[in-house]
Amino acid sequence: MAEAYIVAAARTAGGRRNGSLSGWHPTDLAAQILNALVDRAGMDPALVDDVVLGCVTQIGEQSMNVARNAVLASKLPISVPGTSVDRQCGSSQQALHFAAQAVMSGTMDVVIAAGVEAMSRVPIASANNVAIKHGMGGYVSPQVIERFGHTEFSQFSGAETITLKYGLTRDQLDAFALESHRRAAEATRAHRFVDEIVPVAVRRADGSGDGQLHTEDEGIRYDATLDSIGSVKLLQEGGRISAATASQICDGASGVMVVNERGLKALGVEPLARVHHMSVLGHDPVIMLEAPIPATQRALRQAGLKIADIDLYEVNEAFSPVPLAWLAALDADPARLNVNGGAIALGHPLGASGTKLMTTLIHALGQQRNRYGLQTMCEGGGMANVTIVERL
């Protein structure tokens, strides 16, 4: 079977809610990434066989197959198709898996895996909420209610459950959030994100723009302290999680170009990394966010690796307890986790986060000249994707 190689990886800098990217239509924002990947590969855009694009809230501006619409807004020829993927927060990580599977099968040679989410313009959960408002009902069916005893599944209660299960205190959650901001600030000051970020014009929702380019993640709190984080109100009475220890609402797009050996020859490029392992696992939908733990344990077994063999890991910071519980369960090294900060500081643009994290992971592996990187993230419905890449 052919191998899957990543030859280009790019992302926009994260935009805060109603911030510098809030004026971008998500289709057009995603197109900037498609164009950048083609440019970075120095290739004929007609060589792209498909675009697989993750997006969670597929309604309004993100409806009607946002992947195909992004192709139409880009420099890619209309002969390039596109399909949209929803595996909740892991949507574009799953897009990467689908792209890798396509080129490994030999049915395609060059596939772009990408993601986009304009959370300022298309609020989280609006697809379900708008449907309920207009009498079309919600996603939880009678049989699901009968099986699990829940009329809805909450990531917030799931995060609190993990906090209690793993004995995490609010002080630990706050300290983790502070470290996310510290690492992200340090990485930005050291220009470690420069090569992965695609500069795009500032476009705000009110139509204003000062002619500048958006090149730095807006969510980083350079002046964050334990006191400032600890002063943020808890999300629920008696809980331990606050908005400061949860991922930030974020606008953004990201993507990677995936090829096989024929694709490498056709493009005439050198690979950045090889996809060493990819898998996905379902877990308890009630606790929901714990799935990265068993998914990673199984992935390591299947790959014939130990956690000590992995040089860097990206575990999405949906909430502080998710990576903290993962570290404890895997007996992993905190110094290798999210070395440039995570979603608490950099934002979590839902459908774009999968290839966003992969972009950061690949560039960090290159900067540190490490070999193996592992990425995983919790997903709605109690799922988790795991991807292990080898830097080449």
Provide the sign of the torsion angle of the four alpha carbons 80, 92, 190, 208, taken in this order.
positive
Known active-site residue 89: yes
Sign of CA dihedral 269, 47, 4, 253: positive
250 is catalytic: no
pTM of the predicted model over 0.85 = yes
Given pLDDT bands bounded at 50, 70 and 90, which one contains residue 1? confident
Active-site annotation holder among 181, 276, 348, 363? 348
- Residue from 55, 89, 181, 214 carrying the catalytic annotation: 89
Q: For residue 55, indicate whether it is catalytic.
A: no
Mind listing the pLDDT tens digit for each residue in 9-61?
999 999 999 999 999 999 999 999 999 999 999 999 999 999 999 999 999 99
Q: Which residues of 251-268 are buried (b: 16+ CB within 10 A; e: fewer)?
A: bbbbbbbbbbeebbeebe
Rg (CA), the chain: 20
**DSSP assignments along 41-60, one per residue:** HT--GGG--EEEEE-S--SG
From the candidates 55, 250, 283, 378, which is the catalytic residue? 378
Sign of CA dihedral 187, 40, 204, 76: negative
As a dihedral over the C-alpha atoms of residue 184, residue 156, residue 358, residue 62, rounded to 10 degrees, the angle is -110
- Report DSSP state, residue 301: H
pLDDT, mean of residues 131-156: 93
Nearest to 85 by CA among 45, 30, 32: 30
- Cα dist. 231→171, 228, 245 in Å? 11, 5, 11
Residue with tokens 């970020």: 197
